[in-house]
Amino acid sequence: MLELRAVTKKYGHKTALNALSLDIQPAEFVVIFGPAGAGKSTTLNLIAGITDPTSGEIMLNGHPMNRVAPENRNMSMVFENYALYSHLSVFENLAFPLRARGMGTPEVKQKVAEIATILQITPFLERKPGFLSGGQRQRVALGRALVRDADVYLLDEPISHLDAKLRHRMRGELKALCQRKEAIVVHVTHDYREAMSLSHRMVVINKGHLMQFGTPDEIYHTPANEFVASFVGEPPMSFIDTRYAQYQGRVALLVSGTETQPVHLPVNGQAAEFLGRAQPKTLRVGVRASDISIERSASAKHDIPAEVYVVETLGHRDIITVKIGAHLVKVVAAPGMNLHVKDTVWVNIGPETYHLFGDEKAIAHPTGKRKPAPVAAPEGV
Amino acid sequence: MQTSKITVGMVLRHALMLLVLMIFLFPIYWMLVTSFKPAQEVLTRPPTFVFEPTFDNYRYAFEQADFTLFIRNTVVIAGLSTLLVISFGSLASYSFARYNPGDGHILFFILTTRMMPGIAVVMPFFLIFRDLGKTTFGQLFALGLDQIGALVVAYTVFNLPFAIWLMYSFFQDIPTELEHSARLDGYNRLQVFLRVVLPLAAPGIAVTAIFSLMFAWNEFLFGYILTRDAARTITVGVSGFQTQQGILWGPLAAAAVVCILPMLGVALVLQRYMVRGLTFGAVRG
């Protein structure tokens, strides 16, 4: 088990990582996910022992690691900029970590051949890294990390430089390869698909702070706050500023900026009760593009008027950005609606699709989708 | 479209280049010619261009003036001092590049030792080696006057700052990730330095070694002041043909040819490597 206990890293006055605590189970594949400058690579470097934490403790299988040199941690790492030894051939690069452990030549050859076959780099074994393409170099870097048996594999954006097709294939290969290793894998990426598809659990961090640590399901369906909600998902979640209001004798949410021609979002169940009790001043409603729909004409379901702002055609579906009041909301629509900018459409945002956020924190999530949310104050909206 | 037409500008340009080339190469040509001239034709006016070549001057330089010893001394001194410069210099410059001790002040201080001319320190050096030669330590390492060890130390001291600065930029250009990667691959600091850092810095180290070698080979002042006979170097040997009876131009030219040939060879063979090495630090890609 790999544990981070309130690990903080400061560079001068700048805090790169703030009291990060994680417990990573044996053979778990954990993806650290966040925007640039979030502290993803810093976390990896701290685990690897390349940099020392300012405070906090890193434990591996119950042993404190803070004072253990990188070469004695039995961890293996892929660096974002490959870090290949340019004076050595691809074969020697792959053999480098094996030779450090005094492995005999026949075994080295066998291990290198195995990993080279999996990563499809056998034809380049005699070449120097300088004569390889970016994708080939990245595969060599991956091979050098995976060629030996380590307790922990640290992968810093290991497949981000591959082209889309190869990346897709490598994603599968990587998952299978790591499953076979039965070791802890900590993988850093800024690609949410990669994060979702590879991980057992995801760590979402931003500006050095832990935003959420949970399974991809939890992260997607019950994001802990607006940051996680907006960062996970394609297209990103849309947010609508609302106010608590009474509408036709019932609790409702008035969309901010629509006071002249009020647009109300209905609320039902426990959430209405909660809102009636707490009466919060402001609330933000988050909706995923795939959870809402639009029609050309109004109906009982499609009762919120909106104006088409942007139309993005993706082939199998269109992504329509509509304006509700001053808020831009993305909607997934089937192709063939033939919409144009400034057209009026009617939107269906059901209360069952809301993610409610107050003061940046999640208050409620839609129920019935997946597991119940641990952060939800009232169950169900 | 490209044409092969010869223009006036091209002719002028080539003529100018030829002129400049002749100005620069003439002394070397004259030295070479003089070294093969019989003694009576060396100083004739007008100078002779056609003559019967002779090896007398070379014979004189090696048999009468003991040039074999001078060459041997110079090879040993230049080689040893270069070895020391590279050994100490690579460790020092690597430390400066990675750990920056003294926040750049020590690095700058090292450079300042090169700001005074050699003549300013030659007397202190003379006194130091005169006294050092009388000690057991000095005798053990041949550090007295007219001993090889003294010149090795003097050249090392003089070359080290320059070498540190030159190699410093090469080490700085090696991404630290490579070292981190090697650490994680299971190698300790020293192994990483020897197996990853040094091979990657090889072009820089080669350039530094060549410069160090050239300095030691061509150095005159220290060699002249600190040696008498036994440790005499080749440049001092060449100057020895200025005798009280006059200058022995023929043997002097022959000795000078022998003196410049090895470094000329090194420069020609490693020319491309050197240029690449010197620009290695500036543009990487």
Q: What is the pLDDT of residues A104-155, one digit of tens each?
A: 999 999 999 999 998 889 999 999 988 888 888 888 999 999 999 999 999 9
> Which pLDDT does position A135 carry in this prediction?
83
Residue B276's pLDDT is 62
The tokens describing B101, both together, are 């001790």
Q: Do both A216 and A242 map to the same domain?
A: no
Query: How many angstroms separate the CA of residue B194 from the nearest CA in chain A?
Result: 13
pLDDT at residue B2 in the model: 55
pLDDT tens digits for B208-221?
998 899 999 999 99
Whether residues A100 and B178 touch (CB distance < 8 A) is answered with: no
One-letter amino acid identity for A332?
V
Are A298 and A332 contained in the same domain?
Answer: yes
Quick check: is A267 in a domain?
Answer: yes
User: What pLDDT does residue A367 have?
Assistant: 65
Is A46 a domain residue?
yes
Looking at residue B281, its pLDDT comes to 41
Predicted TM-score (pTM) of the model is 0.80
CB-CB under 8 Å, A69 with B200: no
Task: Tell whether A28 and A175 lie within a shared domain.
Answer: yes
The per-residue pLDDT for A122 is: 94
> Domain holding A27: CATH number?
3.40.50.300
pLDDT at A381 over 70: no
Q: Which of A106-120, A363-377, B162-176, B190-204 has the lowest mean pLDDT?
A: A363-377
A215 and A252 in a single domain? The answer is no
In the prediction, which pLDDT does A92 show? 95
The distance of Cα A121 from the centroid of its chain, to the nearest Å, equals 29
- The pair of three-digit structure tokens given for residue A239, joined into one six-digit string: 């947010």
Per-residue pLDDT, averaged over A232-244, amounts to 89
- The nearest CA of chain A is from the CA of B285 a distance in Å of 10
| Amino acid (one-letter) located at A257 | G
Shortest CA distance from B196: residue in chain A: A85
Could you report the per-residue pLDDT of B92-145, keeping only the tens digit for each? 999 999 988 888 899 999 888 888 888 888 999 999 999 999 999 989 888 989
Confidence of residue A377 (pLDDT cuts 50, 70, 90): very low
Encoded tokens for B113 = 């030792």
Q: Among all chains, which residue has been given the structure tokens 């007219």?
A: B146
- For residue A380, what pLDDT band results from cuts at 50, 70 and 90? very low
H or E segment at A306?
A: strand A304-313
- Determine the average pLDDT of the residues in A51-67: 94
d(CA B101, nearest CA chain A) in Å: 18
Mean pLDDT of B198-209: 88
pLDDT at A378 over 60: no
Based on the domain organization, do A199 and A302 belong to the same domain? no
Q: Tell me the pLDDT band of A166, cut-offs 50, 70 and 90.
A: confident
CA-nearest of A24, A48, A43 to A32 is: A43
The 10s digit of each residue's pLDDT in A333-352 is 888 888 889 999 999 988 88
Predicted confidence at residue B282, as pLDDT, reads 37
Give the sign of the dihedral formed by CA A77, CA A78, CA A83, CA A88.
Answer: positive
State the pLDDT confidence band at A366, using cuts at 50, 70 and 90: confident
**Contact across the interface for A50 and B183, Cβ inside 8 Å:** yes
Sorted by sequence, the CB contacts under 8 Å of residue A268 that are 6+ apart come out as A351, A381
Establish if A102 touches chain B: CB-CB under 8 angstroms: no
Asked whether residue A63 carries a pLDDT value surpassing 90, the answer given is yes
Kindly tell me if the per-residue pLDDT of A363 is higher than 80. Answer: no
ipTM of predicted complex: 0.81
Q: Does the structure show a pLDDT above 50 at A176? A: yes
Given the candidates 3.40.50.150, 1.10.8.60, 1.10.3720.10, 3.90.1150.10, the CATH classification of the domain at B58-280 is 1.10.3720.10
CB contact under 8 A, B175 and A81: yes
Q: Which residues of B touch A (CB under 8 A)?
A: 175, 177-178, 180-188, 191, 196, 199-200, 202
Q: What's the CA angle centered on B279, arms B278 and B280, to 5 degrees? A: 90
- Nearest residue to A97 (alpha-carbon basis) of A58, A137, A57, A140: A140
Q: Is residue A332 part of a domain?
A: yes
Contact between B85 and B156 (Cβ < 8 Å): yes
User: Which pLDDT value is given to residue B269?
Assistant: 79
Report residue A93 as tokens.
Answer: 């690069």
Mean pLDDT for the stretch of residues A67-81 = 92
Q: String of b and e for A151-181 (b: at least 16 CB within 10 Å)? A: ebbbbbbbbebbeeebbeebbebbbebbeeb
Which residue range is the domain that position A94 belongs to? 2-222
Residue A315's CATH number: 2.40.50.140
Q: Do B185 and A96 touch (CB under 8 A)?
A: yes
Mean pLDDT of chain A: 87
Domain count, chain A: 2
Would the CB atoms of B184 and A48 count as touching at under 8 Å? yes
Task: Give yes or no for A70 touching B (CB within 8 A).
Answer: yes
Residue A209 reports pLDDT greater than 90:
yes
| Domain spans in chain B, listed from the N-terminal domain onward | 58-280
Lowest mean pLDDT among A41-50, A324-333, B1-10: B1-10
Quick check: A368 pLDDT over 60? no
Q: Does the beta carbon of A71 lie under 8 angstroms from any beta carbon of chain B?
A: yes
For residues A186 and A305, membership in a common domain is answered with no
DSSP secondary structure, A170-221, as one string: HHHHHHHHHHHHTSEEEEEES-HHHHHHH-SEEEEEETTEEEEEE-HHHHHH
**Does residue A233 belong to any structural domain of this protein?**
no
pLDDT above 70 covers a percentage of chain A that reads 96
